[in-house]
Amino acid sequence: MEIKGIIPPILTPMNEDESINLEVLKSLIDRQLAAGVHGIFPLGTNGEFYILSDLEKEQVLQTAVETVNGKVPVYAGTGCPGTRETIRLSKRAKDMGADVLSIICPYFAAISQNEIADHYKAVAKAVDMPIIVYNMPARTGANIQPGTIAKLADIDNIVAVKDSSGNFDNMLQYIEQTKGKDFGVLSGNDSLILWNLLAGGNGGIAGIANIYPKTMVSIYETFVAGDLARAREIQDSIRDIRSNFRFGNPNTIVKRAVNILGYPAGPCRAPFNYIPEEGLAALKKTLEKDTANGLC
């Protein structure tokens, strides 16, 4: 399976009591498919995997698999702090019909590069599925070093890495050190998607696609078509919406934006749900301006 394009880490919509709203999840996925996304990624950071129960994770994944119905690959987030639990959840995702696993670096406890490598090797050996390594040091406390990724890229079913470090040089080294291998590098930072592609990467897992799916897809499609000037214009067009991340948890900002646009995604689960009044006003102003300028 070729790992490429724009893959939205789909929101997990909730009712006001914070229960999962599976009917709205179906509609959110349908909106992404209509925009031409290249995959659907439930149980990512924007999907609030960190605060869902095992049963809720299964409900979300099953709904995603059934709604996508083979149109694009389904990327399931199955990373847990421990190796044993990651293997268990990954096997369950395989049984439920996921196509690819996205596995975040083990988190909370301090971890060495050797332990990171051993973790991914054990999961890859236990679960015969394509695996994307997910690097997000701001949340896990550990950056997966380029040398570690180079070693993991030699394992047949470890097929890509998503880099959410926001450090372009780190992502560039991932690309350089896996050159010539059947291995993809995806940007987890939406502002770096075009630069990832220009450097030889494969696209991005793009949280902003929850807000503007067609716009995010067009970054990739315009690049592939060879119109680099237009691709740059589209890439730059999301700067203002991303600037609103300063007002709170990016997941909260994205979910609130989707609600404002008329898609009832509901609240983020407490306590990760606060936006100050000035932030909410700024977000509404940005969305009004962006939609007037054709972002969608």
CATH code of the domain covering residue 161: 3.20.20.70
For every residue of 76-121, DSSP letters joined together read: EE---SSHHHHHHHHHHHHHHT-SEEEEEPP-SS---HHHHHHHHH
Query: What distance in Å separates the CA atoms of residue 74 and residue 44, rounded to the nearest whole number?
Result: 12
Count of domains forming the chain = 1
How many of the other CB atoms lie within 10 Å of CB of 54? 11
Query: What distance in Å separates the CA atoms of residue 266 and residue 295, rounded to the nearest whole number?
Result: 22
Query: According to the model, what pLDDT value does residue 278 have?
Result: 98
Asked whether residue 74 is domain-assigned, the answer is: yes
Of 232, 282, 270, 272, give the one whose Cα is nearest residue 251. 272
- Taking a C-beta distance cutoff of 8 angstroms, is the pair 108, 137 a contact? no
3-state secondary structure of 204: strand
Asked whether residue 162 is domain-assigned, the answer is: yes
Catalytic residue among 4, 162, 214, 255: 162
Burial class of residue 40 in the structure, from the number of CB atoms within 10 Å of its CB (0-12 exposed, 13-18 middle, 19+ buried): buried
How many of the other CB atoms lie within 10 Å of CB of 217? 22
Asked whether residue 177 is domain-assigned, the answer is: yes
9: DSSP letter:
B
Asked whether residue 261 is domain-assigned, the answer is: no
Helices (H), 145-205: 146-152, 168-177, 193-198
Asked whether residue 157 is domain-assigned, the answer is: yes
Query: According to the model, what pLDDT value does residue 2 have?
Result: 87
Task: Give the global pTM.
Answer: 0.97
Residues contacting 20, CB < 8 A, separation 6+: 12, 13, 14, 52, 56, 59, 60
Boundaries of domain holding 124: 5-226
Query: According to the model, what pLDDT value does residue 292 have?
Result: 97
Q: Which whole-number Å values give the CA distances from 17 to 178, 250, 266, 270, in the listed order?
A: 45, 21, 9, 10
Q: Is 134 a catalytic residue?
A: yes
- Taking a C-beta distance cutoff of 8 angstroms, is the pair 177, 146 a contact? yes
3-state secondary structure of 157: coil
Catalytic residue among 75, 134, 174, 220: 134
Query: According to the model, what pLDDT value does residue 218 have?
Result: 98
Question: How high is the mean pLDDT in each 10-residue block of the chain (296 residues)?
Answer: 94 97 98 98 97 97 98 98 98 98 97 98 98 97 98 98 97 97 97 98 98 98 98 98 97 98 97 97 98 97
Query: What distance in Å separates the CA atoms of residue 52 and residue 74, rounded to the nearest whole number?
Result: 19
Q: Is 162 a catalytic residue?
A: yes
Asked whether residue 275 is domain-assigned, the answer is: no
Query: What distance in Å separates the CA atoms of residue 158 and residue 163, rounded to the nearest whole number?
Result: 14
Asked whether residue 264 is domain-assigned, the answer is: no
Query: What distance in Å separates the CA atoms of residue 53 and residue 45, rounded to the nearest whole number?
Result: 14
Asked whether residue 291 is domain-assigned, the answer is: no
